Chain A
Amino acid sequence: MSLINDIEIINRVIEGDKEAFSQIVKKYQNMVFKYVYYQFNNYDEALDITQDIFITVMEALQSFRQESKFSTWLYSIMVNHCKNYRKKMNRYSTVSLKVMRGEDEVDLQLQDYRENPAEKVVNEDSIRIIKEEIEKLPDDFKDILTLRDIDGLSYNEISEILGINLSNVKVRIHRGREYLKNRLHARGLI
């Protein structure tokens, strides 16, 4: 679907054809969900947040001035929503599930019985490790690496979405990649 189609659909929605918004949702739901999922590494949480993002987008559609691509505008809402959600979650204290094994304290591994198609992929270990490491990244690196290396956005788009200048985008990408590479190296993945 082209950019013109996005704008056409949005204009229809603004004019009152709310049903047309379902085309936008269907087109972008995978992209939004994946971004959220890699930010929080939690399937259920990602579903809820994705839903909230689309509601926010629909309710804010009137404020879309069509100066940028719709996808860029959607990305900025998505990134901000995730940031706000993270902030909100940080307000609540979390309890670490630890068990004693001998003299060592280790994380309690809770079995997730939900079927996850990703588990069927051959290099499931690599995927698991990379997901864990993405989750542990500092927030600034997490945002920018997801946008750049997973979603494949250009530096200009990222600059627009995050509201930072191009040189800052570059610096953050460099530092984020360096950080992640060192972490993956420490885990023996690279």
Chain B
Amino acid sequence: MTLKHLNFDELSDLIDNELSEQQKDYCLAHITVCKICCKEYESLLKCISLLSSLKNECIAIPDFSERTLTICRSREKKRLFLKAVPAIAASVIIIAGAGFIKTGFFNESGSYVAANLSGHNETQRIIESVGNSKGRILKITHSFIDGEFDKNSLSAIERILHKNNIKHAVIVNSGMLVNPSTGKMEDVNFTYGNGSVSGNDIYKNQNYATIENGKVRIRIFK
């Protein structure tokens, strides 16, 4: 038997049964005769057995299962919600956008015209009424629209205007009309083509009436 001491790795492998049969026999034989190696072997054995004893140590711990499931469930819900946020946001934007477009918040150029919305709708309504009565538009201002119609269709246009509750007045030959709001006679300034026809200018007004013979003019108020 050699007197060369066993190294630590050999002792460790011996305990873990990691040596070949031949090496194992050699080490065991050496330990029986070498007190130093035997002591070293026993120390290591005790060290490992102390560590192993911790495996059987009784430590009271709570049951983790219920809490784990609860936490996982709530985290899953949170994850699903966060996943849905972009879709929800996109839906809101689409719905709101569609609503704005439908209600006419954006005109062709994309500018905001909500302030003029009611006037715009009324103007359209009047223009449509004139169109339906086979008339034509002579002038459009912020407060009224002047239209010209065949005398035959006068009753039709008046019916339509009444039906739509739109104030209007027929312009007489003198170039005057009775304002439906005030009930007073008012002078009317026509702008027709390049010229201007004033109720005070009888000649021009008569001239204008002559040109448009067989027609009637109506001022439609917004």
**Are B75 and A22 closer than 8 Å at their CB atoms?**
no
Main secondary structure of the interface of B (DSSP, over half): helix
Q: Which residue of B lies closest to A29 (CB)?
A: B64
- Beyond A30-B61, A54-B68, A127-B54, list 9 extra A-B contacts (CB 8 Å): A47-B62, A55-B75, A58-B72, A117-B58, A149-B52, A150-B51, A150-B52, A181-B44, A185-B43
Main secondary structure of the interface of A (DSSP, over half): helix
A51 contact from B59, B64, B73, Cβ within 8 A: B64
Q: Does B108 contact A (CB under 8 A)?
A: no
Q: Which residue of B lies closest to A61 (CB)?
A: B72
Inter-chain contacts of A19 with B (CB < 8 A): 69
Q: Does A2 contact B (CB under 8 A)?
A: no
Which B residues have a C-beta under 8 Å from some C-beta of A? 8-9, 12-13, 16, 18, 43-44, 46-48, 50-55, 57-69, 71-73, 75
Q: Which of A75-83, A93-101, A170-178 contacts B (4 or more CB under 8 A)?
A: A170-178
Q: Which residue of B lies closest to A185 (CB)?
A: B43
**Are B63 and A177 closer than 8 Å at their CB atoms?**
no
Q: Flag A161-181 by CB within 8 Å of B: 1 or 0 each.
A: 000000000100110011011
Q: Does A121 contact B (CB under 8 A)?
A: yes
**Are B63 and A26 closer than 8 Å at their CB atoms?**
yes
A150 contact from B18, B44, B55, Cβ within 8 A: B55
- Greatest chain B CB density within 10 A among A30, A115, A178, A189 is at A178
**Are B8 and A178 closer than 8 Å at their CB atoms?**
yes
Alpha-carbon distance A51/B71, docked complex (angstroms): 10
If A118-B59, A126-B50, A184-B50 touch, whether A174 touches B68 (CB-CB below 8 Å) is: no
